[in-house]
Structure 1
Amino acid sequence: MNFQPLIGLYFISPLWTSQALDSSDYVLQFATPGDRVTLKCGLPSIGSCSSVNWTVKNWLWNKDEVVTAGKVTHLKENKYHLLKDCSLEIPQMQRDDAKLYTCESGALNSSVSLQFLDITEKTSPAEGTIELHCSLSKSTGFDSCKTDKDIHINWTTEDDVPITGNRFRFENPSVGLSKLIITRKLTDHHRIWKCQIMQNGEVEASGSYRTTVRDGLEEVFTAVGESVSLLCRNTSSLRLGDRIEWTLNNKMLSDLVPENGQTNTSHVIKDSSLVISKLTPMDAGDYQCMGSSDEQRVLHRIRVHTLHVAANTQPLKGNLSLICVLTCAEICEENFNLTWSGSNQERWQGRLFHVNNTLINELLLPVWPVSSDAITCSVYREGSKMASKSLSSVKSLQTLAWLCLPLGVLLCAAAGGSFIHWKTKRNKDLSTESADELSDISMNHVYDVVQDEEVQQPGQLKREVATTDDGFYNLLQPVN
């Protein structure tokens, strides 16, 4: 028997189907694994679904009827549902569902090419890199990447911010395939990267991928005064008799003694997570979740950075000094940034500098900013917002302060002095202080550092900095 005609037909058939489908008479639709997908019939004026048939064609151009006369065929009942508007529903998208679907009613028909969005990680990337691939599946013998429907792929962070920076590189071998090549860092552990399918400038579908790095650290940013739960991952590898223990900077948490009479604010819950209530800057550091029996094994590592804001007045200049401090576990990396903004989304440029393991942004504003009731400092990592902390003014006290001005400086000074005296006496009478108050007091050394830094700046005059214990600071309340 001569097989040559058959072989020729085998290779020609996909080319023929590609040409047949490479037109504008079908709709492209995208989905990711596990999605619930609804394919619209797209036919006008359908009187009843009883006249509707749905067919599916695979890459060999085999035709499979899944809906006949308005009813799902018996063998496809678990796979497809026919909705009231005659749409075809796939409850859970799988890879082999990427096919051409056609809705027919009489002489009319409408087709949907369902594309599968897939993100994979290259198993053997270049040394010191992570390589992710985002691609669209091939459907019914034609490559959607060759379509003229203005499709392209974007890479973003978890919160849809475009990925930028020197450690990222993109390769696009085709319209339907894009590669993200990352210069690996330990803190890329458990980071989420997103791939977006764009058509005519609109996001049609997106998928996400979480990377793992051997001996890596999950990075967490949180605001002082808030609570955080640190998840102990990989507990499935625990052996019989293992118990969960947590360390901070390689010291057992159970052995750490709180400073300044503070109570222990961390505890382990049933799922082995570590819960820290009302964080302070001292809670920044590297945490480890460990399984311990005869020997200790590290299950998961988490690096925690804390964000804090405070206000300070400068009576001689009439300005309000706002200080935003990011306390890093080790060092604050170059891709970290602190930004001030108001409730009207206005952004202010402060003065940014590093001091040891802290990143500080000082902002000078009029004591009572007119344009904003709340002022927020946010920390960004590689352009993506990670955490925020706000200060909000108390309007009644603000109004009272302004009413004092016409009465003269002397009266206001006397009133302010009385208030400070009352607050000082009250603080002495208190037997305990809240975590927020302790955090504010601990900010005093930051003001001293800021003052010292300004003295060293050429062309700037040294200015007196008041403590956070004055009356003006109490007109601003932190908002968690």
Structure 2
Amino acid sequence: MACLSLDLCVGVLLLIGLRCQSCAGSKVYSSPGASVALPCGTRVHGPCSKISWKYKEKFFFFRDLVESGKVIDMKMGRLRVGADCSLHISDVSFMDGGQYMCYDGATSANTTLQLLNNGADEVFAVVGESVTLLCSDSTSPGVGESLRWSWQKKELITANQGGDVTVSANGKKTEFKINPDSSLAIKAVTAAHSGYYECSLFNDSGLISIRRRILLHTLHETTDLPSAPQQDVNFTLTCSLTCAAACDEDINLTWSHSSGEQQQGGAVVKINNTLISQLLVPKSQASQTSTCVVLREGAEIANHKWPVQGGKEVMYSTCSVCYPRFLTS
């Protein structure tokens, strides 16, 4: 068989299975902007000085990335070889997606890098209630691998076999629990829990891939009741949405009545990463329900019902758009 180029020869040999004893390959998921490690997966264990990495561009052509354990495609300095001969890519872009081949001189293995379209899921939780964040819908970690959670880029370390985790946020103790299925539970949500959560897959060499990114927003409502109940005295509902980071410009708050009619609240005030809206309600409507509604570009993405009956607060919430948009438990 005559080959037009060395790259073409290598590609053809790979496709027909010659010298390829583990071509089934594996798949790794990542998001744009993240870092990822692609496992080599060959059967021959030896020094990484024998390892080569190639990237399949199109047809049968492969671009050389690593030769004899050294990166030759510097590509903005985003590539390096790990201690286990894995290929580490930082600041991943959609252009990095595709098939990679690791070759150790005797066997080869393929890994497909698949980029996720969504950087992060959004979850809305009510202050005072509990919430559980799912790590991944895919298969469990393999031998030597583990799933880990981070919050605001700080890793959450399991403190005991029960999975309880305690970290400090703004000088206050906040409690998490990592469940056996690797989901992350927050027992009693506070506004301080708003933020960026990430569940990642690790092995002994470090990060392999990011399984899920979550932006947790929190809703908090309070009622300002008069000191002495009077039929003709108004009371005030205050709804606060604390965003994971700065609230997007297309996010807004409004109010609706139990009859389905929209209620006119005061102007929405923005303080740091929190939106605040107040609603004046006549005491005569204390047995009815008002709902704080979160809008994005005019469409409802979450809500929280807040009835006040007989001068006593009764709080409950509904799921208008289920996980990952809004979740309480």
TM-score, with normalisation over the residues of structure 2?
0.51
The aligned counterpart of 2:304 is 389
The aligned counterpart of 2:315 is 478
The aligned counterpart of 2:3 is none
SS at 1:282 equivalent: helix
SS at 2:315 equivalent: strand
From 168, 174, 195, give the equivalent of 1:285.
195
Q: State the Cα distance separating 1:273 from its structure 2 match.
A: 1.5
Pairs within 5 Å for 1:268-279: 268-279=178-189
Q: Is 1:321 matched up with 2:233?
A: no
Q: Which amino acid aligns with 1:213?
A: N
The aligned counterpart of 2:168 is 257
The aligned counterpart of 2:261 is 346
The aligned counterpart of 2:216 is 304
Pairs within 5 Å for 1:50-449: 212-213=116-117, 216-233=119-136, 235-236=138-139, 238-254=141-157, 256-257=167-168, 264=175, 266-293=176-203, 294-297=205-208, 298-313=210-225, 318-351=233-266, 352-369=268-285, 373-395=288-310, 398=311
Higher relative contact order (CA 8 A, sep 6+): 2
CA distance in 2, matches of 1:286, 1:308: 18
Q: State the Cα distance separating 1:378 from its structure 2 match.
A: 1.8
Q: How many residues align?
A: 189
Could you say which structure has the higher helix fraction? 1
Pairs within 5 Å for 1:13-24: none
CA distance in 1, matches of 2:155, 2:145: 16
Q: State the Cα distance separating 1:296 from its structure 2 match.
A: 2.4
SS at 1:331 equivalent: coil
Q: State the Cα distance separating 1:341 from its structure 2 match.
A: 1.7
CA distance in 1, matches of 2:284, 2:145: 57
Structure ID, larger Rg: 1
**Contact 2:244–2:273 (Cα < 8 Å) also in 1:** yes
Cα deviations by residue, 1:86-142 (Å, 9 ceiling, x for unpaired): xxxxxxxxxxxxxxxxxxxxxxxxxxxxxxxxxxxxxxxxxxxxxxxxxxxxxxxxx
CA distance in 1, matches of 2:272, 2:281: 26
Cα deviations by residue, 1:59-97 (Å, 9 ceiling, x for unpaired): xxxxxxxxxxxxxxxxxxxxxxxxxxxxxxxxxxxxxxx
CA distance in 1, matches of 2:270, 2:282: 25
The aligned counterpart of 1:428 is none
Could you say which structure has the higher strand fraction? 2
Query: What's the C-alpha RMSD, in Å, of the aligned pairs?
Result: 2.9
Q: State the Cα distance separating 1:259 from its structure 2 match.
A: 7.2
TM-score, with normalisation over the residues of structure 1?
0.36
SS at 2:285 equivalent: coil
CA distance in 1, matches of 2:150, 2:172: 21
Q: Which amino acid aligns with 1:476?
A: E
SS at 1:377 equivalent: strand
